[in-house]
Chain A
Amino acid sequence: MADLRIERDVLIEAPVDVVWRTITEPDQITRWFADRVELELKPGGRGHLGFGEPGEHKGTAIVVETVDQPNRFAFRWKRPQDADPEPTNSVLVEFTLNARGPERTHLRVVESGLELVTWPDEEKQSYADDHNGGWAQCFDRLAMLFAR
Chain B
Amino acid sequence: MRTEPDDQLWSAIAEPSRRRVLDLLVSGGEATASVLAEQVPFTRQAVSKHLVALEEAGLVSRRKQGRDVLFRVESSRLDQATRAMSDVATRWDRRLASIKGLAEAAHVEAKGRSRR
Which positions in A face B, CB cutoff 8 Å?
1-4, 6, 8-15, 18-19, 21-23, 28, 31-33, 89, 103, 105, 107, 109, 111, 114-119, 123-124, 126-128, 130-131, 133, 135-139, 141-143, 145-146
Contact = CB atoms under 8 A, between A and B. Distances in A.
A133 to B, nearest CB: 7
Given A18-B103, A118-B4, A139 B87 contact: no
Contact of B88 (A10, A28, A111, A124): A111
A130 B48 CA distance: 34
Q: Which of B22, B23, B84, B93 has the most CB of A within 10 A?
A: B84
B10 A117 contact: yes
Contacts of B49: none
A137 B15 contact: no
A126 B87 CA distance: 9
Interface stretch (B37-45, B64-72, B73-81): B73-81
Contacts of A145: 82, 85-86, 89
B83 interface: yes
Nearest to A8: B92
Given A18-B106, A116-B10, A133 B92 contact: no
A23 B14 CA distance: 29
B88 A133 contact: no
A73 to B, nearest CB: 12
Contacts of A142: 13, 78, 81-82, 85
Q: Which of A22, A23, A105 has the most CB of B within 10 A?
A: A22
Contact of A139 (B22, B103, B104): B22
A142 B73 CA distance: 14
A139 B84 contact: no
Contacts of A105: 103
A23 B100 CA distance: 10
Nearest to B4: A118
Contacts of A135: 79, 82-83, 86
Top-9 shortest CB links A-B:
A32-B98, A115-B10, A14-B107, A115-B14, A139-B26, A14-B103, A10-B96, A8-B92, A22-B103
B114 to A, nearest CB: 12
A93 B100 CA distance: 18
